[in-house]
Every structure is written in C-alpha cells, then in structure tokens.
Amino acid sequence: MKPSNPTGRASLGLKIAVGLVLLFLHFPLLIIILYAFTTEEASFRFPPPGLTTRWIGELVNRADFWNALSLSLAVAAVATTLAIVLGTLLAGAIYRGKFFGRDALTLLVILPIALPGIVTGISLRSAISLTDMGFTFWTIVIGHTTFCIVTVYNNVIARLRRTARSQMEASMDLGASTFQTFRYIVLPNIATALLAGGMLAFALSFDEVIVTTFTAGQQQTLPIWILSQLTRPRDRPVTNVAALFVIAATFIPILIAYRLTQKTGE
C-alpha cells in the first residue's frame, strides 16, 4: 500500500481516530513533566496549585538516588558492551550461512523478549537459588545482557542483509586479510547499526525492572529505587522529579538510535 498515487484522502473520522490514539500515547509524558514542578506535596491534585523547582534540589541531595543511578549506569554499560560483542558475533554467524540449528538459534535469541519478563526473571532466580551463588552485580548483568543481545543482533543483521556481499568479496579478492576486510569494509558498514543497537540496549537495561527485581537481591538499581519510592507517599515530589529524569535520560539514546537507523532507511 504505497501512497505514491493517492486515489483518495483519509476520511475525517480516520484522522480524528489517529489523532486521539497518538494523544493517548503521548499525554502521559506531558503529565510527568508538569508534575515534576508541582508545589503540591502530598497528593496528585490536578491542576497543580503552583509550580516550583524546589524538588530538583531535594533529589540532588538524596544519596540513595545517586547510588541507585550509579549502579544502573554501571550495569547498563557492562551489559551493553557484552551485548554488542555477543550480538554482533551472532549476527555475523547467522548472516554467513546455513548450518544445523540456525532457525532454532534465531528463535532462542528472541525468546528472552518474546516470553514474559517474569519468566526470565524467575528462571534466573531459580538458577541462583539452585547454585547458592547469591545476588551480586554480575547476576544483574547476566539478566540484562541476555535480553539486550537481541536488540544489537536485530540491528546488525538488518544492516548486514542490506550490505552488498560483493564488497566483502572484492576486498578479499584484492588481497585484504579477514581482519582488514572486517576493519575497512564490514565495520564502517555496520558502525551506525552497532551504535543504534547499543543505544537501545543501554536504554533497555537502564530502565529494566521486572527481571532485575529477581536478580538484584538487596541491591537497588534506579528503577527498583523508583519502585520502592512508590510506597512512600511523603516522597512523592522527589519521585516525580526522578521519573522526569529517567524519561529524559532514556529519550536521548532512543532519539539518537532513531536518527542513525533513519538515514539508512531501516
């Protein structure tokens, strides 16, 4: 269905429906901006009685917020790095050829996001309990990497499929070694896809809460910190500011990833 030669225009009813659905998708994001600045301390009263920037200062002075933030950043950085390496290797292998179990493998990669998060979560929790290894930084990282591999894999394999195989063949014919071909032909071609996949993996890990609650034990990542804040009505204004901060922090990598993939029309 290409709009290149429009035989008709969208009816007004359809346009209104599209507008309403998009409004439904976006107005909560506006609400969170508004409530980060409300002067109301105890309830979610609308309209807010006044606006203030006071809560930003309060959040900045919260040590537990900074601890949670630094744990989240560390986990996301390590998980993203691991996912980039594993996802790229996997995409390369799947792209290169047919081998026994290839279809099963592609299914296995998407399984961690196709099955509900709680399945991955409780599975890892069972494994931790069976092996008596306890909860550490690495139990969080293992969970996050497992579901981040697929975002890198998806981006890289899509790019590889668009890259002409003949370029690599030409490079090898002209005497380049496998490493040189990777360095000068493959890497420049997949660089933006890698970056986009990495950005999305980072955003996914930074924000993940369902799997993390099962693998973190007593440790608090930023989403777990926010979740624990929800049960403290007195902290509502600070939670609102933290929520705005998280939205802003995940928007940036998503927008960059979107631009990177748009240029190549993926």
Partner 1 sequence: MAALSLTLTPPTPKPPSLPRRISTFFFRRPNLSLILTLLLPLLWLVVFYIGSLSSLLVNSFFRLDGFTGLIVRQFSLQTYRELASPSNVDIFVRTAVMAATVTVTCAILAFPVAYYMARYANYRIKGLLYLGVLLPLWSSYLVRVYTWKIILAQEGIITWFANLLGLHGLLEALLAVPGIGGPSLSFSFLGMFLVFVYIWLPYMILPINAALERVPKSVLEASADLGARPGYTLRKVILPLAFPGVVAGSIFTFSLTLGDYIIPSVIGNSSFFIGQAVFAQQGTAGNIPLAAAMTVVPIVIMFLYLMVARRLGAFEAL
Within 10 Å of residue 79's Cβ, how many Cβ atoms? 26
Task: Find, among 99, 46, 254, the residue nearest to 262 by Cα.
Answer: 254
Within 10 Å of residue 160's Cβ, how many Cβ atoms? 20
- Binding residues for partner 1 restricted to 168-197, rule: CB under 8 A: 172, 177-180
Residues that bind partner 1 (rule: CB under 8 A) add up to a total of 90
**Residues in a beta bridge with 51:** 38
Task: Determine which residue in the list 140, 156, 194, 226 makes contact with partner 1, applying CB under 8 A.
Answer: 226
Min dist. Cβ of residue 253 to partner 1 (A): 9
Q: What is the CA radius of gyration of the chain?
A: 23
Site for partner 1 contains 227 (CB under 8 A): yes
Backbone angles phi, psi at 95, to 5 degrees: -70, -35
**Whether the bond into 49 is cis, omega within 30 of 0:** no
Min dist. Cβ of residue 128 to partner 1 (A): 8
Identify which range of 2-10, 56-64, 65-73, 184-192 contacts partner 1 by CB under 8 A.
Answer: 2-10
Task: Determine which residue in the list 56, 158, 254, 256 makes contact with partner 1, applying CB under 8 A.
Answer: 254
Q: Of 29 and 60, which has the nearer Cβ to partner 1?
A: 29
- Binding residues for partner 1 restricted to 108-167, rule: CB under 8 A: 108-109, 111-112, 114-120, 122-127, 129-130, 142, 145-146, 149
Site for partner 1 contains 228 (CB under 8 A): no
Backbone angles phi, psi at 51, to 5 degrees: -120, 145
Q: Of 87 and 198, which has the nearer Cβ to partner 1?
A: 87
Give the position of tokens 């950005």: 199
Cβ-contact 263, 193 below 8 angstroms: no
- Binding residues for partner 1 restricted to 52-81, rule: CB under 8 A: none
Within 10 Å of residue 84's Cβ, how many Cβ atoms? 22
Min dist. Cβ of residue 25 to partner 1 (A): 5
Task: Determine which residue in the list 43, 53, 61, 166 makes contact with partner 1, applying CB under 8 A.
Answer: 43
Min dist. Cβ of residue 89 to partner 1 (A): 5
Min dist. Cβ of residue 139 to partner 1 (A): 10
Site for partner 1 contains 6 (CB under 8 A): yes
Q: Of 47 and 134, which has the nearer Cβ to partner 1?
A: 47
Classify residue 106 as exposed, middle or buried by CB count within 10 Å of its CB (0-12, 13-18, 19+).
middle
Identify which range of 55-63, 65-73, 89-97, 157-165 contacts partner 1 by CB under 8 A.
Answer: 89-97
Q: Of 20 and 60, which has the nearer Cβ to partner 1?
A: 20
Task: Find, among 67, 89, 112, the residue nearest to 242 by Cα.
Answer: 67
Cβ-contact 253, 77 below 8 angstroms: no
Site for partner 1 contains 239 (CB under 8 A): yes
**Residues in a beta bridge with 38:** 51
